[in-house]
Chains A and B, each alone.
Chain A
Amino acid sequence: MIAVERLTHRYGAVEVLDNVSLEIPAGGFVGLVGPSGCGKSTLLKVLAGLLVPDSGDATIDGRSVVGSPGRTAYMPQRDLLLAWRRTLGNATIGAEIAGTPRRQAESQARTLLGRFGLEGFERAWPAELSGGMRQRLALLRTFLCGHDVLLLDEPFGALDAITRRDMHEWLQQVLADDPRTVLLVTHDVEEALVLSDTVIVLSDRPARVVKQLSVELQRPRESDVVTSKPFVELKASLLEALRTGRT
Chain B
Amino acid sequence: MRLGRGFRVGRWLPPAALIALLLLVWELSVRALGTPAYILPPPSAIVVAFGEVRPLLGQHIVTTGTEALAGILVGAVIGVALAVAVWALPLFRRLTYPLLVASQTVPMVVLAPLLVLWFGFGLTPKVVVVALIAVFPVAISTVQGLAAVDGEQIDLLRSMGAGRRDILRVVLVPSATPAFFAGLRIASAYAIAGAVIGEWVGASSGLGLFLTRSQASFRVDRVFVGVAVITVLSVALFGVVDLLARVVAPWQRAGREQEEDV
Binding site for B on A (CB under 8 A): 45, 48-50, 69-72, 74, 76, 78, 80, 82-85, 93-94, 96-98, 124-128, 145
Chain A residues with CB below 8 A from B158, complex form: 49-50, 69
Q: Across the interface, do B160 and A80 meet the contact criterion of CB distance under 8 Å?
A: no
Cα separation A96 to B165 with both chains bound (whole Å): 13
Report if A78-B170 is in contact (Cβ < 8 Å); known contacts: A84-B175, A127-B251.
Answer: no
B254 and A50 contacting across the interface, CB-CB below 8 Å:
no
Residue B174 at the A interface, CB < 8 A? yes
B249 at the interface (CB under 8 A from A): yes
Query: Are A97 and B251 in contact, with the CB atoms below 8 A?
Result: no
A-B contact pairs, 13 of them (CB 8 A): A45-B155, A48-B159, A49-B159, A50-B159, A70-B162, A74-B159, A80-B152, A82-B170, A97-B157, A97-B166, A124-B254, A125-B254, A128-B254
B66 at the interface (CB under 8 A from A): no
CB-contacts of B166-185 with A (<8 A): 166, 170-171, 174-175, 177
In the assembled complex, which residues on chain B have CB atoms less than 8 Å from the CB atom of A45?
A: 155
Evaluate contact between B160 and A69: CB separation under 8 angstroms: yes
- Report yes or no: A94 in contact with B160, Cβ–Cβ below 8 A: yes
Could you tell me if B160 and A70 are in contact, using CB atoms closer than 8 angstroms?
yes
Contact (A50, B155) CB under 8 Å given A82-B171, A125-B251: yes
Q: Is the CB of B170 within 8 A of A127?
A: no
Q: B162, A76: Cβ atoms under 8 Å?
A: no
The reply to whether the CB of B161 lies closer than 8 angstroms to some CB of chain A is yes
Is B177 a contact partner of A97 (Cβ separation < 8 A)?
Answer: no
Would A78 and B251 be within 8 Å (CB), given that A69-B161, A97-B160 are in contact?
Answer: no
Binding site of A, secondary structure by majority: helix, strand, loop or mixed?
loop
CB <8 Å contact, B157 and A127: no
Size class of the B contact interface (CB-based, 8 Å)? 20 to 34
Which of A94, A97, A125: most chain B Cβ within 10 A? A97
- Within 8 Å CB of A128, what residues of B? 254-255
The 8 Å CB contact of B255, one of A82, A98, A125, A145, is A125
B 208-262 contacts with A by CB, 8 A: 249-251, 254-256
Measured between alpha carbons, how far is A69 from B159 in the docked complex, in Å? 5
| Chain A residue, CB-CB nearest to B157 | A97
Q: Which of B155, B160, B174, B175 contacts A98 (CB 8 A)?
A: B160
**A98 and B161 within 8 A (CB):** yes
Other-chain residue from B157, B166, B249, B256 in contact with A84 (beta carbon distance below 8 A): B249
Q: Does B22 make an interface contact (CB < 8 A)?
A: no
CB of B152 within 8 A of CB of A78, answer yes
Asked whether, in the complex, the Cβ of B157 is within 8 Å of the Cβ of A93, the reply is yes
Q: Is the pair A84, B152 in contact by a Cβ cutoff of 8 Å?
A: no
B180 to chain A: closest CB distance in Å? 13
How far apart are the CA atoms of A72 and B152 in the complex, in Å?
16
Q: How far is the CB of B6 from chain A (nearest CB, A)?
A: 21
- Say yes or no for B150: interface residue by CB 8 A criterion: yes
From residue B137, how far is it (CB to closest CB) to chain A in Å? 22
With A and B bound together, what is the CA distance between A98 and B157 in angstroms?
11
B35 on interface, CB distance cutoff 8 Å: no
Q: Is the CB of B255 within 8 A of A76?
A: no
Is the CB–CB distance between B153 and A93 below 8 Å?
no
B53 on interface, CB distance cutoff 8 Å: no
Q: Which residues of A contact B160 (CB under 8 A)?
A: 69-70, 74, 93-94, 97-98, 145
A82 with B161, Cβ < 8 A, contacts A127-B251, A127-B254, A127-B255 known: no
**B111 at interface (Cβ–Cβ under 8 A)?**
no
Tell me the nearest residue of chain A to B254, going by C-beta. Answer: A125
CA distance A69 to B170 in the complex (A): 17
Inter-chain CA distance A70–B162, complex, in Å, is 8
Query: In the complex, what's the smallest C-beta–C-beta distance from B197 to chain A, in angstroms?
Result: 37
**A68 and chain B: residue at smallest CB distance:** B161
Nearest-Cβ distance from residue A98 to partner chain B, whole angstroms = 7
Chain B residue numbers with a CB within 8 Å of A74 are 156, 159-160
**Alpha-carbon separation in the docked complex, A128 to B251 (Å):** 10
In the complex, which residues of chain B have a beta carbon less than 8 angstroms from the beta carbon of A49?
Answer: 158-159
Q: Closest chain B residue to A99 by CB distance?
A: B161
Whether A97 touches B150, Cβ cut-off 8 Å, given contacts A50-B155, A127-B255, is: no
Kindly state the separation between the CA atoms of A128 and B252 in the bound complex, as whole angstroms. 11
